[in-house]
């Protein structure tokens, strides 16, 4: 062999290109991990992204079974270059409620190139209030899935998230305000009523009406009832559904008038609302022009 090929081979070996590592048997690695071998636990975590789904699943089961012992390796895995490993680590940490993972997950929420929504989900599962500001910031994320999961996680915090969400109502981003309104509607904290009522005309109308209905504060009746005759179909539908949620008897004449709405789906929801409030079934004219009762799975 000449000098040039020898030099080239030396360079490749030094760079690691000529090195072939044999994968340790999975059962052996699992046994070592159970015995407290940290390197074995990290090996299992890496195998979350194994091309063989059987090995990946067994590695996952083994790590989950290790309990708190696996948390350091899982937290380390949040920084893995492979997005599958990082995602699985976030899922495991969220499922465990690992509070030590909150700060790394908040970092992941802004730095991961893919699947950041899993970090948002995990923060909500852990339930540590330190994660609330990061989730509120994520309401304006460029990825719609991140925004949705951040809002859902904020709802899991319940009233603990109310102050941060109320502050977000003044955010310059329409998107942030819209998701904050939706989260507040789901949380149903009476302390948010005044702020939500004051938002009329300052936020997406459909979401605003929906939130007022979910909140259940009857001070929102006038705002909701006024939207029943709006020119926009979706706004009228949101208003009718919000009246159903409010359950205010003042809605009876409003809902009765809505039985003549040009849209059959609105007429159906008006009939549902009348039944909910009065306890009496009401017919409506469906899309075929037939007078029928609203469909119910339980009748």
Query: What topology is assigned to 128-201 in CATH?
Result: 1.25.10
- Could you give the CA distance from residue 18 to residue 22 in angstroms, rounded to a whole number? 13
CATH tag for 27-125 (out of 1.25.10.10, 3.40.50.300, 1.10.510.10, 3.30.930.10)? 1.25.10.10
Six-digit token pair at 158?
A: 């319940």
User: Taking the C-alpha atoms of 199, 200, 201 and 205 in order, what is their torsion angle to the nearest 10 degrees?
Assistant: 100
Residue 16 pLDDT > 50: no
Hey, is 111 helix, strand or coil?
Answer: helix
Q: Which tens digit of pLDDT belongs to each residue from 53-104? A: 999 999 999 999 999 999 999 999 999 999 999 999 999 999 999 999 999 9
- The predicted model scores a pTM of 0.85
Query: Measuring CA to CA, how many Å separate 226 from each of 206, 219, 222, 234, 251?
Result: 13, 13, 6, 14, 11
Q: Where in the chain is the domain with CATH 1.25.10.10?
A: 27-125, 128-201, 204-299
* Domain 204-299: CATH architecture, name and number where available: Alpha Horseshoe (1.25)
Q: Which tens digit of pLDDT belongs to each residue from 192-226? A: 999 999 998 889 999 999 999 999 999 999 999 99
Helix axis angle, 233-246 to 264-278, nearest 10°: 10
Helix axis angle, 251-258 to 233-246, nearest 10°: 140
- Could you give the CA distance from residue 67 to residue 206 in angstroms, rounded to a whole number? 44
């Amino acid at each position: 062999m000449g000098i040039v090929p020898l030099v080239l081979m030396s360079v490749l070996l030094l760079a690691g290109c000529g090195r072939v590592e044999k994968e340790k048997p999975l059962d052996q690695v699992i046994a070592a991990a159970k015995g407290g071998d940290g390197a074995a636990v990290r090996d299992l975590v890496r195998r979350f992204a194994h091309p063989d789904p059987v090995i990946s699943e067994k590695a996952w089961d083994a790590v989950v079974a290790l309990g708190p012992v696996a948390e350091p390796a899982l937290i380390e895995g949040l920084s893995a270059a492979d997005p599958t490993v990082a995602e699985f680590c976030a899922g495991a940490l969220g499922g465990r409620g690992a509070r030590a993972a909150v700060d790394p997950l908040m970092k992941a929420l802004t730095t991961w190139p893919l699947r950041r929504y899993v970090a948002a989900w995990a923060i909500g599962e852990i339930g540590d209030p330190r994660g609330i500001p990061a989730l509120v910031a994520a309401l304006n994320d460029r990825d719609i899935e991140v925004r949705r999961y951040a809002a859902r996680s904020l709802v899991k915090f319940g009233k603990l998230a109310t102050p941060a969400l109320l502050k977000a109502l003044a955010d310059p981003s329409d998107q942030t305000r819209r998701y904050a309104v939706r989260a507040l509607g789901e949380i149903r904290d009476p302390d948010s009523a005044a702020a939500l009522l004051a938002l009329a005309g300052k936020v997406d109308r459909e979401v605003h009406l929906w939130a007022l209905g979910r909140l259940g504060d009857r001070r929102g009746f006038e705002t909701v009832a006024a939207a029943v005759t709006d020119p926009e179909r979706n706004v009228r539908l949101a208003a009718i559904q919000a009246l159903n949620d409010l359950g205010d008897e003042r809605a009876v004449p409003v809902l009765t008038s809505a039985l003549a709405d040009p849209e059959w789906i609105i007429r159906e929801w008006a009939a549902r609302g009348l039944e909910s409030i009065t306890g009496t079934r009401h017919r409506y004219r469906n899309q075929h022009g037939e007078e029928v009762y609203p469909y119910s799975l339980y009748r």
